[in-house]
Amino acid sequence: MAPLTSDSAGEDAALAEADGEMSDSGGRRRRLVHLTTIIVVATGVLLTVVLGVAVVTARDNNEERLLRQRTRETAAVLTAALPGIQTPLASSVEVVEESAGADQQAFLRLLTPLVEAGQPYVSASLWRTDSEGLQPLLVIGDAPMLASRPPAEIQAFLERSTAATGLAVIGLLEGDNPRLGYAFASTREASEFVAYAEATLPANRTSVVPSNSAFAGLHFAVYLGDHEDPTQLLTASTPDLPLSGALASERVAFGDTSLLLVMTPDGALGGALLKMLPWLVVAFGLVTTFGSATLIEWLLRRRDDAVRLSEENARLYANQRSVAQTLQHSLLPDRVPDVAGLELAFRYLPGVGGVDIGGDWYDVIPLDDDRLMFVVGDVSGRGLHAGTVMASLRYSIRAFASQGDMPATVLAKLTRLLDVAHDRHFATVLCVVVDIAGRTITVANAGHPNPIMILGDAIHPVETKVGVPIGVTRDATYETVTEAIPPQATLLAFTDGLFERRGESVDDGLERLRESARSTTGSLDELLTRIVDAQMHGSSDDDTAILGLRWQQ
Amino acid sequence: MAAIDDESFVNATAEVHFGDEGSVVIRVTGEVDIATADIIRQAVAVATEPRPARLVFDLLAVDFIDSSGLAVLLEAAKTADSVRIDPASNIVRRVIEATGLSEMFGMGI
């Protein structure tokens, strides 16, 4: 017996393939994070770091620039303040010098207001050079600490002040409360007088900067001389010395020496926002990075789900197609009975593309030793309903045949079982009784394609009386035709899928059939294979059932 | 006139023309198969409410008809007092003849 079709093996292969894809997708599903997401995170973090560094650099540059600017401003303020403590000394000594020492009251008048609490000086004194050296003439306020120094040192300093064209600074005089001493001599040639004053340093040498001052937000330290010598510290805004961190310094001329101003920012000069900007940039960058990474990961997983779903659908589709075909096969005989004297073969070919069960069928029913009935039918449409209609028609015919009904009666009874208006299906049926010994066939036809007879190179249609299809009218009647079959002839009955094609005439299909059926050598099974191969080349979208019959030689 | 047009991928149309004295013409074009049968079925539902005396199918522009398409015509045949196919394309004519339905659809040989 011929195999039913060779397609079931193909279906199994398709199923196995679909399963293989499933396990592949399972592998993808187990992936923790997608590579794309990792790349996005890495890129985002890198960009964030680069941007953060850039902002930090820009901020630091800005801070440095601001610090230098503020330090220069402070130095300018300091420079502007210095004449305030020099001028009274310079003025008074000029007046005294002018009067050749007569007007010492001028010294008192000018300096007394400056030697009080809250004023620059704690002590002011007027000195005169004579043959015995420098002697104090007048003292305002406290006794000068200078006076307690060794005479040689006093002499050296006052000589330095007369030699200097401006202010001479003695430096810090150590004591319980260190003082800064400075002196002024007249700019005249051979000047005799020297005005000398001492100022105290702020308590602990620390100045408190008011928060509304122009110097708020800065720490500063002022040293006498040109380097940060703690012993030469005049004043600072903080006891925490030397200053550390970002520093800027300026030198300010101060008589015959100089002051060193060192400053550092206390907090951010550019404001709190600028200080926090790098962190804001980094935080924003990281939030954006991880936000987009999360979104991308989510989208990728959705895509994976969609891919998995489509793979599963493909598998289910293959499965369903397989189920439909399995069901169809179960409704059709998988073998025809051995009948002495006859060769029988059949093919059933599912149409391509559909998952639905088709409505084509064939059947072979032995009636007695001399006769058998064969049937080829086609229920309109597709799907489970068409399949069940097909099954019920097939088994009804078997029942009628077993009651001894002949083809015309079988079809007339059959048509009452189906109503196209109600069932939405009708059926075409060819019902044939074969008289084996008599070599005749008796055919009744309910709207079905006529069978053909292949004899040598010729193909003859077997003309039948075509009645209306099954299920169209309840009272349809059918007529039979009896035909003698020549010894060499092969009889083929089939459904319209065999050579019906869209866009092709029936004659083209018949011509193809004629070509493929030309050689009658070989078995009937081989002939059917040849015909099927030729007809199915460029597959049909309709199902096809073929039954072949010939008398054994 | 009511029209039930194809969806963009479905290759068939059906138009219903109500004529005089209870006759209705359904004009079908394209391919009448399992995919488009419902278009014709809807047109028939429109045309046969109420039941017409005469239902005529104009199938001159039908390129292909399969058993599902034929089933719709046969269903429609029960919904009118008389049903004819006129005119018919050669393809339709051949299918109707091959299935023994010429007489039912008033297509004299």
Q: Say if the Cβ atoms of A381 and B99 lie within 8 Å.
A: no
Domain's final residue, options A168, A200, A232:
A200
**Residues B19-53: tens digit of each pLDDT:** 877 889 999 999 888 888 889 999 999 888 888 88
Whether A101 contacts A74, CB under 8 Å = no
Query: Residue A421 is encoded by which pair of tokens?
Result: 């208006």
Measure the CA–CA gap between A551 and A548, rounded to whole angstroms.
11
Tell me how far CA of residue B37 lies from CA of A126, A165, B42, in angstroms.
Answer: 129, 121, 9
For residue B18, being part of any structural domain is answered with yes
Neighbours of A526 (CB within 10 A): 13
The tokens for A17 are 């393939």
Do residues A387 and A357 touch, judged by C-beta distance below 8 A?
yes
CA dihedral sign of residues B97, B103, B108, B109 = positive
Q: Please compute, for residue A510, the number of CA atoms within 13 A of its CA located in the half-sphere on the CB side.
A: 13
Any domain includes B64? yes
To the nearest whole angstrom, how far is the Cα of B75 from the nearest Cα of chain A? 4
Contact between residue A444 and residue A408 where contact means Cβ atoms under 8 Å apart:
yes
Q: Which residues in chain A have Cβ-Cβ distances shorter than 8 Å to B101? A: 447, 468-469, 472
Residues whose CB is less than 8 angstroms from the CB of residue A542 and which lie 6 or more positions away in sequence, other chains included? A351, A358, A495, A496, A497, A500, B66
Instruction: Say what the pLDDT of residue A493 is.
Output: 93
Minimal Cα–Cα distance from A386 to chain B, Å? 10
Q: Measuring CA to CA, how many Å separate B88 from each of A268, B26, B91, B97?
A: 94, 12, 8, 12
CA-based max dimension of chain A: 177
User: Is residue B108 one of the residues assigned to a domain?
Assistant: no
Cβ-Cβ contacts under 8 Å, B100 against chain A? 445-447, 466-469
- How close is the nearest chain A Cα to the Cα of B36, in Å? 12
Q: Is residue A256 part of a domain?
A: no
- A357, A379, A380, best to mutate vs chain B, most B CBs in 10 Å: A380
- Print the domain residue range for B44: 2-98
Chain A nearest-CA distance from B99, in A, is 3
Which chain A residues have any C-beta within 8 angstroms of a chain B C-beta?
359, 378-382, 420-421, 424-426, 428, 445-449, 466-469, 471-473, 496, 500, 502-503, 506, 542
Note whether A360 and A329 are within 8 A (CB).
no
Three-point CA angle A507, A513, A519, nearest 5°: 140
Find out whether A4 and A329 touch, Cβ atoms under 8 Å. Answer: yes
- Amino acid in the structure at residue A149: R
Chain B residues near residue A380 by CB distance under 8 angstroms = 66-68, 70-71
Amino acid at B106: G
| Beta carbons within 10 angstroms of residue A222's beta carbon | 23
Residue B33 located in a structural domain: yes
A421 → closest Cβ in B31, B78, B99: B78
Q: Which of A169, A200, A231 is the last residue of a domain?
A: A200
Name residue B99's amino acid.
Answer: T
State how far the Cα of A12 lies from the Cα of A5, in Å rounded to an integer: 13
Phi-psi region at A189: left, alpha or beta (left = phi > 0; alpha = psi -120 to 50): beta
Q: What's the full length of chain B, in residues?
A: 109
The full DSSP string for B14-82 is EEEEE-STTEEEEEEEEEESTTTHHHHHHHHHHHTSSPPSEEEEEEEEEEEE-HHHHHHHHHHHTTSSE
- B42 occurs within a structural domain: yes
Residue A242 has φ and ψ, to the nearest 5°, of -70, 160
How far the first Cα of chain B sits from its last, in Å, is 32
Contact B33, B66 (CB under 8 A): yes
What tokens appear for A194 in the block? Answer: 């020297």
* Residue A382 sits in the same domain as residue A524: yes
Which residue in B63, B75, B97 is closest to A424 by CB distance?
Answer: B75
* Contact by Cβ (8 Å): B102, B73: no
In a domain, B104, yes or no: no
- Domain membership flag for residue B109: no
Determine, yes or no, domain membership for A418. Answer: yes
What sign does the CA torsion over A539, A542, A543, A548 have? negative
CATH number at residue A126: 3.30.450.20
Are A194 and A331 members of one domain? no
User: Is A300 a domain residue?
Assistant: no
Q: Pick B100's closest partner by Cβ from A359, A468, A542.
A: A468
- For chain B, how many structural domains are there in total? 1
Q: Is residue A75 part of a domain?
A: no
DSSP assigned state of A143: P
Question: CA–CA separation, A215 vs A459, rounded Å?
Answer: 117
The beta-carbon neighbor of B71 closest among A381, A473, A496 is A381
Domain shared by A406 and A547, yes or no: yes
For residue A424, list chain B residues with Cβ-Cβ distance below 8 A.
Answer: 71, 75
Q: Between B63, B67, B101, which is nearest A378 by CB? A: B67
> pLDDT band for position B7 (50/70/90)?
very low
ipTM, two decimals: 0.84
Q: Which helix (H) or strand (E) holds A199?
A: strand A193-200
Let me know if residue A243 belongs to a domain: no
- Give bridge partners of residue B64 from the DSSP assignment: B31
Burial of A176 (0-12, 13-18, 19+ CB in 10 A): exposed
Angstrom distance (rounded) from CA A61 to CA A215: 20
Cα A34 to Cα A292: distance, rounded to the nearest angstrom: 13
Q: What is the CATH number of the domain that holds A390?
A: 3.60.40.10
Residue with tokens 């220069």: A72
Q: 């083809």: which residue's tokens? A: A407
Q: Which of A310, A182, A200, A192 is nearest to A256 (CA)?
A: A182
* Segments of chain A with pLDDT less than 50: 1-28
pLDDT at residue B5 tops 60: no
Domain stop point among A181, A200, A219: A200
Of A382, A447, A473, the CB nearest to B34: A382
Instruction: Identify the domain containing residue A128 by its residue range.
Output: 82-200
Tell if the CB–CB gap between A472 and B74 is shorter than 8 Å: yes
Domain assignment present for residue B105? The answer is no
Domain membership flag for residue A214: no
Residue type, A72: R
Angle at A504 between CA A503 and CA A506, to 5 degrees: 140
The CATH code of the domain that includes B53 is 3.30.750.24
Collapsing DSSP states into helix, strand and coil, what is residue A316? helix
CA distance B82 to chain A (A): 14
Q: Domain total for chain A?
A: 2
